[in-house]
Amino acid sequence: MSADSAIQIESLVKHFPMGGSVVEALKGVNLALGAGEFAGLVGPSGSGKTTLLNIIGGLDSPTQGSVRVLGEDLANKTHKQLADLRKEHIGFIFQTFNLLPVYTVFENVEFPLLLLNRTNGERQKAVDEALERVGLSHKTKARPATLSGGESQRVAIARAIVKQPSIILADEPTANLDAENSHNIMRILVELNEDNSTSFLFSTHDEKVMAYLRRTIHLVDGNITSDEVTTPSAP
């Protein structure tokens, strides 16, 4: 494993019980993602993209194989240690935004910093910067229910980046957005990647997202069928 590897996966297998049978979601996946990469897991529904992201994020456990995130072997971690890893080093962006409905925009973005016990001043500064970055400084007091889909996803991005994590895992981040919002979101993410050297790993089957990727990993039926460096075609 290279010294600056963000993610190192070897022979990853994941089985799910389904009814009386077992579904093989991942069939011996090997993958290494370096620091600062902007990569995407591309494949049809059911190909194992989300499962792979969940395992990398410590939200799910592998059946076999090893997963190392930022040099830490996830197999030896307790639930609490995995939660701490996510809290400190991993940001999530979800297809359905998953904002906390009773919190304002500011409070949603502030939440990861509260978990990290940052001071008031640090939180205020970091949240202001994150919201500035996604262009929502004027919506700090709004509730998620009053936001459009694009705005909601931008809040989710601000929430993911506010603690300046090493890795951001984005599961179909544009699936619920129209074309214009999708491009806006992707441009923000590209900027973040370039400015902060944060590693991004997407799961997507959206061509608009693919146009921004610098590395495209094709996943079909739980196998990586191709892994190629790509040149972003989006402006």
Partner 1 sequence: MMTQLRLALKNLVGAGARTWLNVAVTSFTFVIIIFMSGLYQGILAYSKRVTVESEVAGGIYWHPLYDPDDPFTLDDSHGAPPQAVLDQIAEGRAMSVLLVTGAAYINGRMIPMQLRGIDPAQQIVAMPTTSLADYDGDAIPVMIGTGMAKLLGAGEGDAITIRWRDAYGTYDAADVEISKVMSVENFKVDFGILWLPLAVLQEMSNMPGEATYVTVRQGEPLLETASPWVLKTVMSLMEDMIALVQAKQSSAAIMYVLLLALSALGIFNSQVLSIFQRRREIGTLMALGMSRQRVVGLFTLEGGIHSVLALILAFIYGAPLLYLTASRGLPLPMDYSDSGFLIGERLFPVYGPWLVAGTTLLVATIVTVVSYLPSRKIAKMEPTAALRGKIA
| Piece of 34-42, 52-60, 198-206, 208-216 that binds partner 1 (CB under 8 A) | 52-60
Cβ atoms of 67 and 55 within 8 Å: the answer is yes
Q: Which two tokens stand for residue 62?
A: 């592998």
Of 22, 114, 179, 229, the residue at the interface with partner 1 (CB under 8 A) is 114
Backbone angles phi, psi at 78, to 5 degrees: -80, 170
* Beta-carbon contacts of residue 137 (< 8 Å; ≥ 6 apart): 128, 131
Name the segment binding partner 1 (CB under 8 A); options: 26-34, 105-113, 179-187, 220-228.
Answer: 105-113
Q: Does 103 contact partner 1 by CB under 8 A? A: yes
Q: List Cα–Cα distances, 29 to 4, 62, 90, in angstroms.
A: 20, 11, 21
Residue closer to partner 1 (CB basis): 114 or 229? 114
Residues in 124-183 that interact with partner 1 by CB under 8 A: 159
State yes or no: residue 102 binds partner 1 (CB under 8 A): yes
In the list 32, 77, 94, 142, the residue contacting partner 1 (rule: CB under 8 A) is 94
Q: Are 169 and 93 in contact (CB under 8 A)?
A: yes
Question: Binding mask 69-88 vs partner 1 (x if CB under 8 A, - otherwise)?
Answer: ----------xx--xx-xxx
